[in-house]
Amino acid sequence: MNEPTTDLGRAAGLASLRRTPQQARSRARLARVLETAERVLVDEGVEALTTTRIAAQARVSVGSLYQYLPDRGAIIEALAAGYFAKLEAVMDDLVRAAAAERWHDPVDVLVDAYAEIYRTEHGFRALWFGSGLTERTRAADREHKRRMADGIRRILLALGLATDDEALARACHAAILTADALAQEAFRRDTEGDAALLDEAKTMLRGYLTAVAARY
């Protein structure tokens, strides 16, 4: 199992975090709590994420945990915020790369990068394939997908494949929703990602994005 990658800074901005720790000692304590929560999530699933369990394993008092994360939902939301931030950071890196390089096959680059996160972020898979997502997490996920779609839009613009308009934004949103659904199914079938299904995803997205680019 990979070491946990949850970062305090990525989770601290989530609304469900009751308050943001100011002192270094408090920040370290919260980081330890989130790292512990991710280990429990990966090893035992969402249902094991109780506040008493996490507090005990992180060696903090339940009262101390409650200062920041009042319940299981808040823990789930904080972990999800970290995963969203990591995905968006990868997308930002890809946007910068697209501006500096000429990609022969943008879809291949994007799907492979996206699949690698599913492959290596065990906590992300455990959270999304479990049954404990909160309504706030689902709402945050919808906004996250819009930001990811905007990354696709910026990549197409950087590569000179489209002109910016509302239709492009809508097409990129459709593309990211499709890619996400196919990636989830590929990794439900195989922890390394069903290669054949990922190839089908690439074929589908190439056709779609080629059609989108042809509009311009």
The pLDDT assigned to 18 comes to: 58
* Res 3: pLDDT: 40
44 and 95: one domain?
Answer: no
DSSP string over 163-190:
--SHHHHHHHHHHHHHHHHHHHHHHHH-
Task: Say yes or no: 110 and 170 in one domain.
Answer: yes
User: Residue 156: CB partners within 8 Å, gap ≥ 6?
Assistant: 106, 162, 168, 172, 209, 212, 213
The pTM of the full predicted model, rounded to 2 decimals, is: 0.86
CA dist., res. 15 & res. 180, Å (int): 25
- Look at residues 50, 66, 82 and tell me which one is the last residue of a structural domain: 66
Domain coverage including residue 47: 8-66
- The CATH number covering residue 36 comes to 1.10.10.60
Asked if 33 and 68 touch (Cβ cutoff 8 Å), the reply is: yes
- Structural domains counted in the chain: 2
Query: Could you tell me if residue 2 is inside a domain?
Result: no
Last residue of a domain, one of 66, 83, 98: 66
Q: What is the pLDDT along the chain (216 residues), one digit of tens a residue?
A: 444 444 444 444 444 555 665 567 777 888 889 999 999 999 999 989 999 999 999 999 999 888 889 999 999 999 999 899 999 999 999 999 999 988 989 999 999 999 999 999 999 999 988 877 899 999 999 999 999 999 999 999 999 999 999 999 999 999 999 999 999 999 999 999 999 999 999 999 999 999 999 988
Other beta carbons less than 10 A from residue 76's beta carbon: 23
Smallest Cα–Cα separation from 33: which of 1, 98, 78? 78
Residues 120, 45 share a domain: no
